Every structure is written in structure tokens, then in C-alpha cells.
Chain A
Amino acid sequence: MQWETVIGLEVHTQLSTQSKIFSGAPTTFGAAPNAQACAVDIALPGALPVLNHGAVERAIRFGLSVGAKINSPSIFARKNYFYPDLPKGYQISQYELPVVAGGSVKIQVGGAGNEYEKTIRLTRAHLEEDAGKSLHEDFQGMTGIDLNRAGTPLLEIVSEPDMRSSDEAVAFAKTLHSLVRWIDICDGNMQEGSFRCDANVSVRLLGSDRLGTRCEIKNLNSFRFLEKAINYEARRQIEILEDGGTIRQETRLYDSDKNETRTMRSKEDAQDYRYFPDPDLLPLAISEDWVNHIRTMLPQLPEARRSNYITEYGLSSYDAGVLTSSKEMASYFESTVELLPIQAKLCANWIMSEVNGRLHKESLDIAQCPVTPAQLSLLLLRISDGTISGKTAKDVFDAMWRVECNGDADLIIESKGLKQISDMSEIEKLIDDILAANPQQVSDYHNGKEKAFNSLVGQVMKATKGKANPSQVNDLLKKKLAG
């Protein structure tokens, strides 16, 4: 039997407002417990919520960048349940009329070569407040409550069940992650919980058009966990079904230590949240003027940028996708290619492999890259004008990374004497010497042994300490051998 996995995601993004969604308390991460909780956040008797329009503005920005409908009016609703870190006994969220309705996101799935594009539809995106934190350690049999996070603005983005593999789910999550940072509504910091996913996973026989019973896996805060949790969960469900069992609808938690999901609560234990419109907050009217104003302030979106790169610079769809994974990355690429427009592919390759590889190795952000786009473009210019080989360039790049010679490629090439030998007569003389010293290889070559040629090239390169231009050496050597 062939099974198909069906996945929908709910992504909680913490919005980058200075203050909370319904109070004036700051949202800075890492303050002393309860230092950032005011009367509203503590839910003192009589305290009332006041909507932070910065949060609405960010939700609209998101809606516009995914081609969604902006609802007006939009309604805030109370989701009622008791928990110690939920001070009011209800969470202010949105139920029937979220700010953002519909929309879609295009994702690129798979690596270079076997990639494909897919459109994932969004159901909605709604504003809500985060809860506080319960601290179970350090209190000897008691629980500590930290309400600093209570009231932090979240935008919960809900997708349709349009994904069919963990790869697609991860691609979707990454695309959203990049988008929310691109449009500057969320810092995307997953360690601090600014971006976390719940995955709804079900399986069905391939070809079936009915959805299977789903399980929701809560609070996945890394792409790797998202991938592993989905894979585990799909396998678990398939095994149950193949053994003739049925899936129970439930909420599950992913244990990254054991790489498994386990029951948190079943549908029967699901609470009745008794949603109803919050009478403390009037229906939110969003004027067309406001929406239009926000539209004009939106940066060009990654999707548009990506297709520009393909048409303007002739990049592959995969490369264009990597280079538009963040606004900083795109701007690094653009600043580099601007100085070297005819070598766009070379720029792209270098940024994706050397620059990115190095950043990744040292856990740096592209904004912290010690090599500036201008410095990089000079280095690449020296490759393309034949001053140095690509191989030598990597050594120069290393030196630039260490900020030797102020990162100036020319000075580094000069000081290390790395300039390629392009003086034909000098190379010719070297080749003559080597041919004379290696009669065996010469005769092997004439007997059709390709290897012998490579060995001769190698010897020439060695003799020039790699400073000869390999293609020049190739041409010359062939000419000499021929005759």
C-alpha cells in the first residue's frame, strides 16, 4: 500500500512591536521575571486591554504580502480556559473574523536539480496575545509564574492541509520564516520562541481524496524538529493503519531526545473554549486608506526579487531562492553583483558556497560578514580577468576573511605573490623543460593515454606554484605535443 502524508501548519510568529498587544509594557526578551508585567498583564481587577495598532499594522503587512484579504471589521474574541500563566483566565485571540483571511505562499522544495515549486494556501492569520511562563524548577514543589511574556503580540498563521511531505512542510516554514523577517514583522529568533510551529499531520492511501484523522504536534521550534516530528508521526500513523488500527484525534508533543511524539491530550479531553467577542474591545475597523498606505510602504517581496534574479541575471531558480532567503542575503548579493554585473553567476556561486559556508561554520549572520560586497566583487573581478585562478581566490578569500590588508584582494595578491603567470614565453619554456624531462609520458600520450596528459599539466602547474592559468597551460601543452 502506498501512503500519502497530509500536513497543515499553524505558525506562531511573535510580532516585533516595542510594547505588548494590549498594554504598554515592553516586550524585550530576557528581563527579570515579572519586571515587564503591568496591571493589564497581571489582570488586576478592573484592568482593561487597549489594542496596539502596531500589531495590527504588522498583521496587515503580512496579509498584503501573501495576497490575502484584510477583514474589516475584524473581531477580537476571548478563548476561555484556566491556567496559572494565563492571568485573565482567557486569551484574547480572534475567532470568526481574523485580520487576515486567505492568501497563499509559493515554496521551492528539494535541492538544486530536483527542485519543484508549489503553492500553499493559507486559511487565515489572526492576532492574539501570548501567555506567560510557568517555571517548575527552583520552587521546591511549587510553581513560579513569569508574566513577562504574557500579552506579547503573536500572529498565528494557519495553512490549508496542502503539504505532502516533511520536506514541503519545512520549505513552507522556511519560506514563512524568511518572509516575516523580510517584511520586518518578526525577528524570527527561534531559540527565543519568536517563531514556532504546530503541525497537523494525517495520512491516507495515495489517490484517496478524503483526509485521514489528524494529530496535532505542538510547539516545534526548529526546522529540524519539524521535519523529524512529521516523519515520525507519519510513520507512526501508517504503522497503526497497516496493523488495522485507527488513528485517535489528539494533540501530541515531540520529544527531541527520543525522536518520538507522544500524547498530550486526546480529543475527548479537548476543552470547550467558549469563544465569544471580547466586549472590552470594539470591532476593529481597518480603513482602505490605512491598508493602501501600508501597501505603499511594503518592500519588494522575495518572490518578486527571485524572479528578477532569474530573468535579469540568468540564475537558476534554486540559486535565486537561496539568495532571496533573507533581505540581508539579497542585498549582499545585489551589492556584489552591482559592481560585477556580467559575472552574476560567479557572484551567486561564491556567495552561496564560500561566503555562506564560512558564515555557517562560524555561526555568523550575513550582516556580520567580515568581507564586504565591494571587497568580494574585487576578488571576483580578479578571477574573471585572469589575475588569479579560482583556486587561488579561495586562499585570498581566507586572507580577506581574516581582514588581512584591510580585506583588499589586490593587496593580498600582491603581498603573497599570487598573481597568475600569463607571460606565454615563460610558460612555454617551462613546458619545453618538462616535456624534455618526461619522454615516457609524452610517448604514453601519443599512444592515447589521457592520464599522461593530466600528469603533464599537473607538473607544469606545480612548477609555476599554481600561478599559471590552467586553460592556457592546457592549450599550450596540446599544441606542443601535437607538434
Chain B
Amino acid sequence: MLNSSLQQLSALIAAKKISSVELTNEFLSRVKAQNPVYNAFITVNEEMSLAQAHAADAMIASGQGQPLTGIPIAQKDIFCTKGWLTTCGSKMLSNFISPYDAGVIERFNTVGAVNIGKTNMDEFAMGSSNETSFYGPVRNPWDITTVPGGSSGGSACAVAARMAPAATGTDTGGSIRQPAALCGISGIKPTYGLVSRYGMIAFASSLDQGGPMAKSAEDLALMMNVMVGFDTRDSTSLQRASEDYSRDLARPLQGLRIGLPREYFVEGLSSDVASAVESAIAEYRKLGAETVEVSLHNTKLSIPVYYVLAPAEASSNLSRFDGVRYGHRAPEYTDLNDMYQKSRAQGFGAEVKRRILIGTYVLSHGYYDAYYIQAQKLRRLIAQDFSEAFKHCDIIMGPTTPTTSFPLGEKSGDPVQMYLSDTYTIATNLAGLPGMSIPAGFGSNNRPVGLHIIGNYFAEAQMLNAAHQYQQVTDWHIRIPDTLNGL
């Protein structure tokens, strides 16, 4: 059961072979038993989860079941969830019970999915290893001495360790794809604007995008069908005709043109990742795809551009956490400024502070033109690289990350090394393009490698098709860590 796909669980529930309450209880006990090892969840609330499961069973009984009705889904703790502690991985919000539901949470509630718990994450989604969480690091199920990636590390771990059949994540510079790759699961960041940001606590508004994390492309498609949709409460939400993301899964890949960016296969890429990705590409050729070399000239600029723009937006987005209306307020202070300073000094962790400082700096008078404006110009160039590349190919592939998962603590003292782990993923956020990671074998020490798939705007169905066809002929995505054998 714990190893079943969403598709299978959905069929079992629809056929009334198992109730949502039974399924929810099963996952809750699994979480209870395993979470102390992995620390994937910040909040588990059996009572609320089971209330939803009962409601889901009633929906099914009255014939109103939908594909995800009654199925437990882990929710990243960045999504405001009514009545649930919603911390965003920060001490700042360690006392914040959300009075409202995010757009994404509403959509899951509407179809009767069950919230199985709120997953751990890097503080305010700032991090690539889940080590910046106020609630402590998450462990990678493939090797608990290594990181799960971040910032959606709790969600990735929950799925990989079979504590939830699927989870939500958010991706500002790779926060869905990088942990998916490091934990050996599948994850997709949709085109910017497809998934509502309403109630999704903002890190960098122009880059943030919610998306699903699951065991397979097929499951991701089911999740996308729920998560994607116009929301009038988010001005950047796109109003488009609704799509069935499962519609093209079965399509053969004959003639698919895969672009391989020259810049993604050079120095910095570790050899074990390179060879796994190359084997995956070879598999695609066997499936009838063609490969063409493309160039994304400005790839090298992605990280510097990102680390100007994302902190700039973050420095402003995080200003609302001032201790005045909710969240952490210093217990003692002498005046207003002292209250601000102490509350924020105590409430935010080091990485968040670093980014607020960088962001404040680049927006300051005298530096704005040199940093922020310049970065915006380069952002357009980076996006142009992709539109140029897509003239020659249908889809782009490469490694999701330069290395497999790394030991806890290895990079946490060196922010630049940490930032480099998002080398390949950041450009898609800057361009607003959809990006995806699927398991593509293992590197040294049996750590998972992710294959990165970048599509053109709104090409999610095509990307899911490419991923699904690969998953029909490979079994990387159904492999589980040895410690999980026997599930």
C-alpha cells in the first residue's frame, strides 16, 4: 500500500477496497514510526487529517469521488493551511496558525484529498539542503548522513521514504527539482503563473512556483490536474483553458527532438552524474528521440543574476515579519526599533538574514542600477537563450544537479558552494519555464541522480509524456532504499 502509485490508490478507493480513513491511518502510522528518523514533517495532526478522511469517504459514498479523493498528500509548510501551524521552516512563524487556506490547499480540499501533514523545508525556502530549517535538517532516505536537498526537502523525503504517496513543493531556483533528484523521486515546477501563489508564503515573487512531487510522471500528472488553475487572488496567475496533464502520457517519443545544452556538460559536473545522465539520454534515443546540441550562452550568469533578484524580492517580502501582528516578537525590548531589531534578529536564521542583507543592499540608492537593473537585463538574455534553443528542439535535457546528495554539514558553512548546487535549475525560474526532475539511476555510493527536463512554456503535458515513456522502460523511479525493503 505504502508503495502504491496515486493511480493504484485511487483505484482501490474508488472500488471501495480501502477507505480513506484506513489509508490515512496507514500513512499516519508510517509517519509516526519513521518521522523521528527523517524529520520530514514539521506538523502532523491526526485529528484534522482523519476528519478530512471521513469527509472524503462521505464524498466517495455519495458518488462524488475524483482521482485524488481520500488520498493523503503531504503539504509543504510554505502553504497557509487553515487551522494548521504554518511555519515556513522559521522560528518567526513557529506560533502561526493560519486563519486561511492557500489557493493550492483549497484545490486539494475541493477534490477531497487528505492533508497528511506539513513538511519540513529550508527556512522561507532559502536553502538547497534543508539545513536552514528552524526545525532541524531532514535526512535523505538513501543515506541518512546526507542531505535531501532543499528547499522542499521534507516533501521529497516524505515521498522517497514512503510516508506520503505524493507531496507539494515550491520551486524558486530549483527547490522542487533538486530535492527530487537527490531523493530519487519525480518533481515538476510548472510554467510561472500556472499554480496559484495565493497563500504560498512568498520568497521571491517573480520566481516562486508551486508544483507536485511524486514517485512517477504519471502521478505528477494527476497532481497537476488538481494544482493548476486560475486564481483571481493572484495577479500573476494565468487564465487559460484547463488541461488534462495525463492526456499525452502514452504518446510515443518517435521524432522528439531533445536539446542538450553544451554548457550543462562541462566542468563542475561530477562524473557519476554525467554518466547516469548520458545513459538516460541513450535510453531516449532508443525510444526514438533525436538529440541536438544547443547552447544556453548565459548559463554562467544564472547564479549571479538569481542571487541579486531573489534576495531583492525576498528582502521586501519578508518585511511583513516584524513582530507586530503575528509571528515571533522578542519577549523584551525598549522601543519600537528595538522590538523590530530583536524580533527579527531572533526570528530569522543566518541564511535568511544573509539574503535580506544582500537584497537590501542591491536595492539601495546608488546600487540599484548596477545590480538590480543589470540583473533584470541579464534575466531577459537568459530567457532569450531558451527561446533560441527551442527553435532547434522540443525539449531540453541535462543533469538536475552537479552532484548527488552530499553529507549534512558539508556545504552549510559555504554559501557559494551551496548556491552552485542549483546551477542547472535556476535559469528555468529566471525564464519562467517549466522544469522537471526524474530519477535516472545512481551515482557513487548508490545515491540517486536526477535527469532534468526543461520544456517550453506550457509544455508540461509533453514533458510528462517524455518522462512517463522513460519510466515505462526503466525502473529507477520505483527503486527504494534498502532500508525500506519489505514495504
Contact = CB atoms under 8 A, between A and B. Distances in A.
Q: SS class of chain B's interface: helix, strand, loop or mixed? A: loop
Contacts of B205: 279-280
Interface stretch (A47-55, A205-213, A403-411): A47-55
- Contact residues of A: prevailing secondary structure: loop
Given A44-B80, A145-B324, A274-B364, A89 B198 contact: no
B17 interface: no
B259 to A, nearest CB: 29
Nearest to B312: A276
B202 A46 contact: yes
Contacts of B268: none
Contacts of A274: 315-316, 360, 363-365, 368
B83 interface: no
B196 to A, nearest CB: 9
Given A46-B198, A276-B372, A89 B320 contact: yes
Interface residues of A, number: 29
B15 to A, nearest CB: 37
Contacts of B197: 46, 48
Contacts of B232: 50
A281 B324 CA distance: 25
B96 interface: yes
A44 B233 contact: no
Contact of A276 (B80, B200, B321, B368): B368
A61 interface: no
Nearest to A79: B316
B98 interface: yes
Contacts of B368: 274, 276
Interface in B300-333: 312-313, 315-316, 318-322, 324-326
A282 B236 contact: yes
Given A89-B316, A282-B235, A45 B363 contact: no
Chain B, interface size category, equals 35 or more
A117 B102 CA distance: 57
A129 to B, nearest CB: 14
B294 interface: no
Interface in B358-391: 360, 363-365, 368, 372
Contacts of B99: 39, 44
B471 interface: no
Contacts of A47: 198-199
Interface stretch (A80-88, A214-222, A312-320): A80-88
A80 B233 CA distance: 23
A45 B235 contact: no
A280 B234 CA distance: 8
Contacts of B316: 78, 80, 89-90, 274, 276
A45 B96 contact: yes
B340 interface: yes
A89 B322 contact: yes
Interface in A271-294: 272, 274-276, 279-282
A80 B235 contact: no
Contacts of B321: 45
A42 interface: yes
Contacts of A279: 204-206, 236, 313
A452 interface: no
Interface of B: 79-80, 86, 88, 93, 96, 98-100, 102, 197-202, 204-206, 232-236, 312-313, 315-316, 318-322, 324-326, 336, 340, 360, 363-365, 368, 372
Interface of A: 39, 42-51, 78, 80, 82, 84, 87-90, 143, 145, 272, 274-276, 279-282
Given A46-B197, A143-B336, 4 more contacts: A46-B80, A49-B235, A89-B319, A276-B368
19 contacts: A42-B325, A44-B326, A45-B201, A46-B79, A46-B197, A46-B199, A46-B200, A46-B201, A47-B198, A80-B319, A84-B336, A87-B320, A88-B319, A272-B364, A274-B315, A274-B316, A274-B365, A276-B312, A280-B202
